[in-house]
Amino acid sequence: MTFDRSIKIAPSILAADFANFGAECAAVEAQGADWIHVDVMDGHFVPNITFGPATCAAIRPHIKGVMDVHLMITPVDPYIQAFADAGADVLTAHVEAGPHIHRTLQAIRGAGMKAGVALNPGTPAAAVEELMDMVDLICVMTVNPGFGGQKFIDVTSKIAALRDMIGDRPIHIEIDGGVDPNTAPLVAKAGADVLVAGSAVFKGGSVDHPDPYGENIRNIRAAAEGVWT
């Protein structure tokens, strides 16, 4: 991975066809997706269960670019190596998921991955202020984690505060939840560069009819770049 602050669209496979993940990943990449976002949920930290390292390993051969794995689980540390072995490029843990986030981030980098830290909507930017030299990505949740298709929660002031904290460090700000052409300009203006979108990307299309994926991706990107400086 190389670092830049251009807008990147990261479709969440949580909104894809569960019976056809490999082809879905290839289809959205062919239609212009920059990253593939994998939401891992455990039914404990969040009220839903999705996938684990085996799914990541299965789709990895179908992904040419970045596989961005978002862990909504607790504990995190016992599973870090499994996700590294599965081919994750970025592994993100929630600051709320355990008492030793600094140690977790060290372990993620030690396993050869980029380290991300995620913040729930009710968690302030200050919670990661002491982690700025430990992370490669900060994921700002704009929904309460656990389910796709939720309404966007406006935390643009928190995004802007994080952007100020980051300064010139090579850290991505990722937005996860309710991203579409209407909300993309708000988060991009505040300083975000990686936009996770699920239903807003996958709606209207399929592996056999992927053109709507491309149109949806282009619309989100154009909306964000309209205010990006």
Q: Point out the residues that are catalytic.
A: 39, 176
Tokens of 8: 């990147």
Peptide bond into 121 cis (omega under 30): no
User: What are the E-state strand segments in the chain?
Assistant: 8-11, 35-41, 66-72, 90-94, 114-119, 137-141, 172-176, 194-197
- The alpha carbon dihedral of 21, 22, 27, 32 has a sign of positive
Q: DSSP assignment, residue 146?
A: T
Q: What is the distance, to the nearest Å, from the Cα of residue 52 to the centroid of all Cα atoms in its chain?
A: 15
**Is the Cβ–Cβ distance between 148 and 12 less than 8 Å?**
yes
**Is the Cβ–Cβ distance between 175 and 209 less than 8 Å?**
no
| Residue type at position 73 | I
Residue 4 buriedness (CB in 10 A; 0-12 / 13-18 / 19+): exposed
